[in-house]
Amino acid sequence: MAFQTGSRVDPRLLDYSGYTQGVTQGAAISAQALAQLGAEVGDAVDKLRKKKEEKKQKGFIADSFIKMGDANAELGEMILPGFANAEEDEKKLAANTYIEGLGLANATKLNMALLAEFLGDDKKEQKIGNVSSFLKTIEDLPNYRMKNGTILYDPTPGRGSDEREVRADDPIFRDYEGGQEFYDIFYDPKGIR
């Protein structure tokens, strides 16, 4: 049926269902996109807060290591050879590198254990020295290495991927000087064993 020019069209006869569906779908897509964007913004804010908290915690631990290193020459040397004569920014960089190497969780445990020793143990220098020598021993042993604050053992270095994390009952903790002190700080800081 054709309309003549100037004819009046009854709006009740027009089919708006496709247009209405399109508008409704468009609104639903827009609402979904806004909800997804809101979730992404919320995640980004959470990540930023976590990074700020982690940075604050790392800064606290680094400052604590530096203060203890200033108070105890042996600990200072463990953090940075020539610690006593180093500039403040060098000490900070060394402490942060030490924290990154140990991992934040282990660096926190070490910091707490060292603080406890500094506050109450007369044999603190010996224990710190033992932990330091133990860490150097791990670097020298061909089958062991430190990665992200974890000691890893590889029975066949360079021959495949059979590397595993050292367990608490590993003989390294009893066979090498400082192993027991290292175990006490990182694996059993509350003395539960």
pLDDT tens per residue, range 155-168: 887 777 788 888 87
17, 179, 47, 27: which is closest to 166 by C-alpha? 179
Distance CA 9, CA 11 (A): 6
Distance CA 83, CA 124 (A): 18
Mean pLDDT (whole number) for 91-103? 84
Mean pLDDT (whole number) for 85-105? 84
Mean pLDDT (whole number) for 37-62? 84
User: Which residues, listed in sequence order, are joined to residue 151 by a DSSP beta bridge?
Assistant: 146
Range of 36-50, 66-80, 171-185 with top mean pLDDT: 36-50
**pLDDT recorded at residue 115:** 72
**pLDDT recorded at residue 55:** 85
Distance CA 38, CA 49 (A): 17
Predicted confidence (pLDDT) at residue 125 exceeds the cutoff of 80? no
Mean pLDDT (whole number) for 42-68? 84
Q: Which two tokens mark 79?
A: 């953090």
The amino acid that residue 190 corresponds to is: K
